[in-house]
Chain A
Amino acid sequence: MLKWFRRQSLTFRLSAGILLCVFFGGMALLYFVSHYSQPIVRSHIEDLAQKSLQDLSARLSSIGGETEAAALTMKNTLKGLKTSDVNMMRNILQSALQTLTYDKSDTSHAWIYVFPDGEVVNGTLYSGILEDGEFVFKASYVDNFYQKYPWFKAVPKEEKNFWSEPYIDEEHPQKPWVVTSLIPFKFSESAEYTGLVAVSIDLDDIQKDVLAREFQSGGHYLLTSRDGLYIAHPDENIQLKKTIFDLARERKLPQLDDAGNAIKNGLSGSIQMPYSSVYNASVIFFYDSISDLGWGLYLVFSQKVFFEPLIKFQLKVVTSLLLGLTALFILISWICHRSTKPLLALSKIAIQYGQGDFTADLPEKSSQDEIGIMTEAFHKMRDNLLSYIDVIKKNAAEKQRDKSELEIANQIQQAALPKRFPLHPAFEVYASMLPAKSVGGDFYDAFFIDDNHFAVVIADVSGKGIPAALYMMTTKTLIKNIAKTGAPIADVIQQANNELCGITDADMFVTAFLAILDIKTGVLEYVNAGHNSPFYKDKDGYKMLTDKHDIVLGGLSNIAYHVHKIKMKKGDRLFLYTDGISEGQNIHGDFYGEDRLSDCLNNTIQSTEDTVYFVFNDVERFSADAEQSDDMTMLELRYDGADENTHVFAADVKNTDDVLQFIQDDMQKNHLPEQSAYKMIVASEEIFSNIAQYAYSKGGMAHISTYIKDGFYYIQYTDYGRDYNPLLKGDPNITETAEKRRVGGLGIFLVKKMADKVTYKRHNGQNILTIGIKIA
């Protein structure tokens, strides 16, 4: 619950907090008000009840008094009379009835009973009745008075007023229930009682009067006789049928007994009744005794009704409180919304800023409150962010530019390296560089100095990146330009070194290996300026050249570099490489190393292109998934010997026509008969296509030379590819049926059949196949 509350918006929490406080405050106030107002209200109501009760009681009392007075007047008039004259009686009765003010139009009844012998049993009854204002007088003899009025026995024989209990008066048929005030009398003090006077009140109107009254529209009245008989009661089954004591017994309400007894004793008071069938709730009885009549008057009202106005008042208070709270909630929400609106706007903007969108405008600082301070902070934050982003963008752009500059440098560097190598009968050269990701400083070069001198270079500049690339370009250009002047190799290197030393103070340098081949003699001069020892291959295979190295270029000026010489024989090779090869690493950090390089070289003696290709593959296989960290550069030079008649063709079937054309021309020049020439063409096509298709892995050359000797015309095919002696191949059986004939093996067979002489020789990595045909 608390967690849930904390998750709600500030507006909600603030409103809820304030509303709860106000609500509880209101409820507390209400409690105190009702707690203290209840007794006040109660006493007020009690006063009202008592007053009301007394009013009615007084009224009833006056009715009784009037009746009593009428009876008394009759008695006093009769007193002193000696006889009972009918007319006299009539007058007395009529004047008595006329004194009654209560309910004049209704039936009133007065009578005088005279029993001359002093016994009540037999006598004359004079009766006067007002019927609708008309006085009706009757005189009758009564045989048995007690039979007629049994209750009369209880009347004490003294000249005092006595109120009867309610009874049914047969003389009075329309309104049977009456109570009667009667007074016995004697004509003289000494005489016996000789009669009685009586005035009856019919209860009908009194009942109606009592029952019709309401107390504060929530209470009713009851009336009981002296003996507790209900004269007025809203329940007809109780009225004039049961006494208050009967009800106390039936309903097990001893409080009613108490009230009834209190009335008998002429007391007044109030009782709490736990239950009333009329109100279906607990009630309060206020009671008062009507002194002359001895009756009891009760005011009954329910507590519920009693406090209803208070409860209604409280309900109104609660309702007003709730209405007020609702209004308050709306007001607080509105205020909060207004206050937090700028916060929401700021947070939206913050999200946009967080996504890198700075187009959203910040609201201006509009107040000095917390929101204002925050807005100001946002302004500062945005300005700072924008300036930081500017800086970062500039940096990024610079980096991007550097990167593209590096890529361009890489391309220039690659473009600066020769990709096509001279096709020369006396030597073959091939080189390649596989750059690492960043620009490195490796390079190679291969160029003619003059018709008879060919130079090869391999070098590795320290460091990487643009400076290394620039240094590399400079070194390459320097060496080539100086070498092309025809200067001795030692001078070339020395000059290049001095130039490079003058270029920069930075501790940059380059390791380089320069070699110059004298094509005619095969003499190779070389200088090693701090570079990896190259491999040299003669008829015994590849071996590392272990001459002493000289210092790197660009380190110290005016250094005299040592020149080494080697006389290359036909098929000898010089293999140059950079440390990207020998120091190629695998994921375990092991180096490829010179031993592996030596093994690889010795296992793969084919064309120079094949050599480079094989070594690359071997290093890559070794490094496997490790990233190439340095440029890998290789160059191989093979000396094939100087021979004027040798022609070189790239070993590719596409060159077949050129080869055949060359041979055709040569044979024509040497006046070979057409039939012989035809045979040599057929044989040559077989041999060249064989070399083109099978000799090399990647690519290589076919050397073709022709000569005449001892009456034979010879064509010699030399390749530097894999060891293959075609003459070891068996001849096909040409007498088999077509089904049994093998499709292959015809080529060499044809060569053997076409030529007069066929020889094969393997020498220093060369396959030398010679075919000859007799001239005339």
Chain B
Amino acid sequence: MELEEKREGDKVIYTITGRIDTNMAPVLQQGLHLDGVKEVIFDMKKVDYVFSAGLRVFLQAQKQMNSQNGTMKLINVQDSVKELFNIVGFTGIMDIE
């Protein structure tokens, strides 16, 4: 998995490449810096698998953004991955395109 960060003021775009499995979830978690961020965008174009450990990272990110009145958006999510988000009910609480 690879993580790329692009920051414009209080807006951050993270571009993730690869699968987010049990090994990589902690790496992703530590790679995110969302304090004081108003808008975060995850570009999921190159993510083919997100396992439960990865899903937890997104849930926590969403919780933090909600608590600091920010917005979070996942873009370019592959269908198979979007289906996983759907299964665990994240499509109802996250902005997924």
Instruction: Name A's B-contacting residues (CB within 8 A).
Output: 653-654, 656, 675, 678, 681-682, 685-686, 689, 692-693, 732, 734-739, 741, 743-744, 746-747, 749-750, 753-754
- Is the pair A653, B22 in contact by a Cβ cutoff of 8 Å? yes
Does B69 sit within 8 A of A, measured CB to CB? no
- Is the pair A743, B59 in contact by a Cβ cutoff of 8 Å? yes
* Residues of chain B in range 16-48 having any CB-CB distance to chain A below 8 Å: 21-23
- Is the pair B22, A689 in contact by a Cβ cutoff of 8 Å? yes
Instruction: Name B's A-contacting residues (CB within 8 A).
Output: 21-23, 49, 51-53, 55-56, 59-60, 62-63, 66-67, 80, 84, 87-89, 92-94
- Is the pair A743, B21 in contact by a Cβ cutoff of 8 Å? no
- A682-B49, A685-B21 in contact; A750/B63 too (CB < 8 A)? no
- What residues on B are CB-neighbors of A678 within 8 Å? 49, 80
Query: Which of B21, B23, B80, B88 interacts with A749 by CB under 8 Å?
Result: B88
Bound-state Cα–Cα, A692 to B22, Å? 11
Of listed A653, A675, A741, A750, residue having the most chain B CB within 10 A: A741
Residue on A with the closest CB to B87? A753
Query: Which of A653, A693, A738 interacts with B63 by CB under 8 Å?
Result: A738
- Is the pair B22, A746 in contact by a Cβ cutoff of 8 Å? no
- What residues on B are CB-neighbors of A685 within 8 Å? 21-22, 49, 51
Tell me how far the C-beta of B21 lies from the nearest C-beta in chain A, rounded to whole angstroms.
Answer: 6
- Is the pair B92, A735 in contact by a Cβ cutoff of 8 Å? yes
- What residues on A are CB-neighbors of B21 within 8 Å? 656, 685, 689
- Is the pair B84, A682 in contact by a Cβ cutoff of 8 Å? yes
Residue on B with the closest CB to A742? B59
Bound-state Cα–Cα, A315 to B54, Å? 119
Tell me how far the C-beta of A751 lies from the nearest C-beta in chain B, rounded to whole angstroms.
Answer: 9
Q: Is the interface of A mostly helix, strand, loop or mixed?
A: helix
- Is the pair A739, B63 in contact by a Cβ cutoff of 8 Å? yes
Query: Which of A656, A737, A739, A750 interacts with B84 by CB under 8 Å?
Result: A750
- Is the pair B59, A741 in contact by a Cβ cutoff of 8 Å? yes
- Is the pair B63, A747 in contact by a Cβ cutoff of 8 Å? no
- What residues on B are CB-neighbors of A656 within 8 Å? 21-23
- What residues on B are CB-neighbors of A744 within 8 Å? 56
- Is the pair A746, B88 in contact by a Cβ cutoff of 8 Å? yes
Q: Is the interface of B mostly helix, strand, loop or mixed?
A: helix
- What residues on B are CB-neighbors of A747 within 8 Å? 51-53
- What residues on A are CB-neighbors of B94 within 8 Å? 738
- Is the pair B66, A739 in contact by a Cβ cutoff of 8 Å? yes
- What residues on A are CB-neighbors of B49 within 8 Å? 678, 681-682, 685
Provide a sorted-by-A list of 30 A–B residue pairs whose CB atoms are within 8 angstroms.
A653-B22, A653-B23, A654-B23, A656-B21, A656-B22, A656-B23, A681-B49, A682-B49, A682-B51, A685-B49, A686-B51, A689-B21, A732-B88, A734-B88, A734-B89, A735-B89, A737-B93, A738-B59, A739-B63, A739-B66, A739-B67, A741-B89, A743-B60, A744-B56, A746-B52, A746-B55, A746-B88, A747-B51, A750-B51, A750-B87
Tell me how far the C-beta of B81 lies from the nearest C-beta in chain A, rounded to whole angstroms.
Answer: 10
Tell me how far the C-beta of A226 lies from the nearest C-beta in chain B, rounded to whole angstroms.
Answer: 146
Residue on B with the closest CB to A654? B23
Beyond A732-B89, A750-B84, 7 additional pairs, beta carbon < 8 A: A735-B92, A736-B89, A738-B63, A744-B56, A753-B87, A753-B88, A754-B87
10 smallest beta-carbon distances between A and B, as pairs: A734-B89, A689-B22, A747-B52, A746-B52, A738-B93, A738-B62, A753-B87, A685-B51, A743-B56, A750-B52
- What residues on A are CB-neighbors of B55 within 8 Å? 746, 750
- Is the pair B88, A750 in contact by a Cβ cutoff of 8 Å? yes
Residue on B with the closest CB to A735? B89
- What residues on B are CB-neighbors of A739 within 8 Å? 63, 66-67
- Is the pair A686, B23 in contact by a Cβ cutoff of 8 Å? no
Bound-state Cα–Cα, A685 to B53, Å? 10
- What residues on B are CB-neighbors of A686 within 8 Å? 51-52
Residue on B with the closest CB to A674? B80
- A685-B49, A686-B51 in contact; A746/B56 too (CB < 8 A)? yes
Residue on A with the closest CB to B25? A689
Bound-state Cα–Cα, A682 to B50, Å? 8
Bound-state Cα–Cα, A675 to B84, Å? 12
Bound-state Cα–Cα, A747 to B59, Å? 14
Bound-state Cα–Cα, A735 to B60, Å? 16
Tell me how far the C-beta of B71 lies from the nearest C-beta in chain A, rounded to whole angstroms.
Answer: 12
- What residues on A are CB-neighbors of B23 within 8 Å? 653-654, 656
Tell me how far the C-beta of B36 lies from the nearest C-beta in chain A, rounded to whole angstroms.
Answer: 19
Of listed A681, A685, A693, A753, residue having the most chain B CB within 10 A: A685
- What residues on A are CB-neighbors of B53 within 8 Å? 689, 747
- What residues on A are CB-neighbors of B89 within 8 Å? 732, 734-736, 741
Bound-state Cα–Cα, A675 to B48, Å? 12
Tell me how far the C-beta of B95 lies from the nearest C-beta in chain A, rounded to whole angstroms.
Answer: 11
Tell me how far the C-beta of A758 lies from the nearest C-beta in chain B, rounded to whole angstroms.
Answer: 14
- What residues on B are CB-neighbors of A743 within 8 Å? 56, 59-60
Of listed A682, A736, A743, residue having the most chain B CB within 10 A: A682
Bound-state Cα–Cα, A685 to B93, Å? 25
- What residues on A are CB-neighbors of B62 within 8 Å? 738
Bound-state Cα–Cα, A753 to B87, Å? 7
Bound-state Cα–Cα, A746 to B58, Å? 12
Residue on B with the closest CB to A686? B52
- Is the pair B51, A741 in contact by a Cβ cutoff of 8 Å? no
- What residues on A are CB-neighbors of B80 within 8 Å? 675, 678
Query: Which of B22, B52, B66 interacts with A738 by CB under 8 Å?
Result: B66
Tell me how far the C-beta of B58 lies from the nearest C-beta in chain A, rounded to whole angstroms.
Answer: 10
Residue on A with the closest CB to B60? A743
Bound-state Cα–Cα, A647 to B56, Å? 30
Tell me how far the C-beta of A173 lies from the nearest C-beta in chain B, rounded to whole angstroms.
Answer: 146
Tell me how far the C-beta of A717 lies from the nearest C-beta in chain B, rounded to whole angstroms.
Answer: 15
Tell me how far the C-beta of A663 lies from the nearest C-beta in chain B, rounded to whole angstroms.
Answer: 13
Bound-state Cα–Cα, A701 to B73, Å? 40
Residue on A with the closest CB to B56? A743
Tell me how far the C-beta of A741 lies from the nearest C-beta in chain B, rounded to whole angstroms.
Answer: 6
Tell me how far the C-beta of B11 lies from the nearest C-beta in chain A, rounded to whole angstroms.
Answer: 20
Residue on B with the closest CB to A751? B52
Residue on B with the closest CB to A693? B22
Tell me how far the C-beta of B84 lies from the nearest C-beta in chain A, rounded to whole angstroms.
Answer: 7
Tell me how far the C-beta of A753 lies from the nearest C-beta in chain B, rounded to whole angstroms.
Answer: 5
- What residues on A are CB-neighbors of B93 within 8 Å? 737-738, 741
Bound-state Cα–Cα, A754 to B83, Å? 10
Bound-state Cα–Cα, A693 to B63, Å? 26
Bound-state Cα–Cα, A277 to B87, Å? 145
Bound-state Cα–Cα, A14 to B20, Å? 100
Bound-state Cα–Cα, A735 to B90, Å? 9
Bound-state Cα–Cα, A741 to B90, Å? 10
- What residues on A are CB-neighbors of B56 within 8 Å? 743-744, 746
Tell me how far the C-beta of B2 lies from the nearest C-beta in chain A, rounded to whole angstroms.
Answer: 16
Bound-state Cα–Cα, A718 to B66, Å? 41
Bound-state Cα–Cα, A654 to B24, Å? 11
Tell me how far the C-beta of B46 lies from the nearest C-beta in chain A, rounded to whole angstroms.
Answer: 16
Bound-state Cα–Cα, A693 to B22, Å? 10
Bound-state Cα–Cα, A40 to B84, Å? 146
Of listed B49, B60, B67, B87, residue having the most chain A CB within 10 A: B87
- What residues on B are CB-neighbors of A734 within 8 Å? 87-89, 92
Residue on A with the closest CB to B23? A653
- What residues on B are CB-neighbors of A681 within 8 Å? 49
